[in-house]
Chain A
Amino acid sequence: MGFNIESYLPDQSNNNVILFYKGNVDSDVINQILDKVEDKMIMVNDQSKLRKKVYNVLVETLQNLYHHVDKVPEDYEDQMSDKFGILLVTKIDNGYKITTGNFVKSINVDKLKEKINKINKSSHEEIKELYKFILNHQRISAKGGGGLGLVDIARKTGNKLHYSFKEYDDRYSFFFLDVLVNKDN
Chain B
Amino acid sequence: MEPINIEGTPKTPTVRFDAREGVFEIRGRSIPENSVEFYKPIVDWLDNYKESPLQKTVVNIRLEYFNTSSSKCILDVFKKLEAIHKAKNDVEVNWYYEEDDEDMLEAGEDYESIIRVPFKMVEIVE
* A27 close to chain B: CB less than 8 A: yes
**Are B113 and A56 in contact, with the CB atoms below 8 A?**
no
- Give the chain B neighbours of A136 by CB distance below 8 A: 75, 114
| Known A52-B103, A56-B103; contact A140-B69, beta-carbon cutoff 8 A | yes
* B123 close to chain A: CB less than 8 A: no
Number of interface residues of B (CB under 8 A): 22
**Are A31 and B33 in contact, with the CB atoms below 8 A?**
no
- Give the chain B neighbours of A52 by CB distance below 8 A: 65, 101, 103
- Chain B interface helix/strand/loop/mixed: helix
**Are B34 and A144 in contact, with the CB atoms below 8 A?**
yes
A45-103: which residues lie under 8 A (CB-CB) from chain B?
47-49, 52-53, 55-56, 59-60, 63, 66-67
**Are A144 and B68 in contact, with the CB atoms below 8 A?**
no
26 A-B pairs with CB atoms under 8 Å apart are: A31-B11, A49-B101, A55-B65, A56-B103, A59-B31, A59-B67, A60-B67, A60-B68, A63-B68, A63-B69, A66-B33, A128-B106, A128-B110, A131-B110, A132-B113, A135-B71, A135-B110, A140-B69, A144-B36, A144-B69, A145-B69, A146-B68, A148-B69, A148-B71, A148-B72, A149-B68
> Chain A residues in contact with chain B, CB under 8 A?
27, 30-31, 34-35, 47-49, 52-53, 55-56, 59-60, 63, 66-67, 128, 131-132, 135-136, 139-140, 144-146, 148-149, 152, 156
> Chain B residues in contact with chain A, CB under 8 A?
10-11, 31, 33-36, 65, 67-69, 71-72, 75, 98, 100-101, 103, 106, 110, 113-114
